[in-house]
Structure 1
Amino acid sequence: MDTAERPYFRTHVFCCTNVRPPGHKRGCCADGGSEKLRDYMKVRVKELGLPATRVNSAGCLDRCELGPVMVIYPEGVWYGYRTREDIDEILESHLVGGRPVERLRLAPDQVPAAG
């Protein structure tokens, strides 16, 4: 592939940072600390020297009850995550090693656990 055909970014990570009103029945990713976790992920991507990787904020990804959530393209792998340790595992296993993190991965038909 010559330079003209190579995409500017090979990997896009979209982290939902959507904010809903307090008490909203679906919740929101921001209530789970998604902005701070996204910021941490951006720093770690730079520290790891991951080339052609872009971490972006996203509005609502419509999986609010499972949040915070992210989706990584071009694979289209969705994750629910809660901690910096989750972020580190996603970066090292998925982005560096090419292996999705099954324990954090969201299935296409996954819905919140009844509770």
Structure 2
Amino acid sequence: MNDTKPYYEHHVFFCMNEREGKDCRESCGAHGAEAAQKHAKKRVKELDLNGHGRVRINKAGCMDRCEEGPVLVVYPQGTWYTYVDNADIDEIIDRHIGKGEVVERLKI
């Protein structure tokens, strides 16, 4: 079977990496990544956007963009975002996932 359509229309990965130690680099986990990922997952379900052929919200390990974090990436487009709070996450969901618009102010 040669199906070129992606399994998910949008597959969103949140960096969840947490570093320990006083001399380590910044990490997304230390900047609310877990709460943001849970919020996004809940919001996508509330909007009935989740599931096969639609949207999947996942956790990821280090994405090596620590100094720009916290970060998430939306595939298959490969659009990288940073965020500060749930309002930023909602804007990414509403505009990028809902309307296909890149949220330039949050793009990295």
Q: Percent identity?
A: 48
> SS in structure 1 opposite 2:25?
coil
Residue in 1 that maps onto 2:13: 14
> SS in structure 2 opposite 1:103?
helix
The root-mean-square deviation of aligned C-alpha atoms, in Å, is: 1.4
Q: What is the 5 A alignment of 1:24-103?
A: 24-51=23-50, 52-103=54-105
Amino acid aligned to 1:45: V
Go from structure 1 to structure 2 and tell me whether the alpha carbon gap of 1:31 and 1:75 turns closer, same or farther (over 3 Å shift).
same
**Distance of 2:66 and 2:17 partners within structure 1:** 9
**Distance of 1:56 and 1:65 partners within structure 2:** 21
Q: State the TM-score, normalized to the length of structure 2.
A: 0.89
Using the TM superposition, give the Cα deviation of residue 17 of structure 1 relative to its aligned residue in structure 2, in angstroms: 0.4
**Distance of 1:45 and 1:85 partners within structure 2:** 14
Structure 1 unaligned residues grouped into runs of 5+: 107-115
Using the TM superposition, give the Cα deviation of residue 8 of structure 1 relative to its aligned residue in structure 2, in angstroms: 3.0
Post-superposition Cα deviations, 1:49-74, rounded to whole Å, max 9, x if no partner, equal 11421100000000011111001001
Structure 2 unaligned residues grouped into runs of 5+: none
Go from structure 1 to structure 2 and tell me whether the alpha carbon gap of 1:50 and 1:24 turns closer, same or farther (over 3 Å shift).
farther
Post-superposition Cα deviations, 1:70-114, rounded to whole Å, max 9, x if no partner, equal 0100100000111000000000010001001000000xxxxxxxx
Amino acid aligned to 1:33: G
**Distance of 1:16 and 1:102 partners within structure 2:** 20
Higher helix share: 2
Q: State the TM-score, normalized to the length of structure 1.
A: 0.83
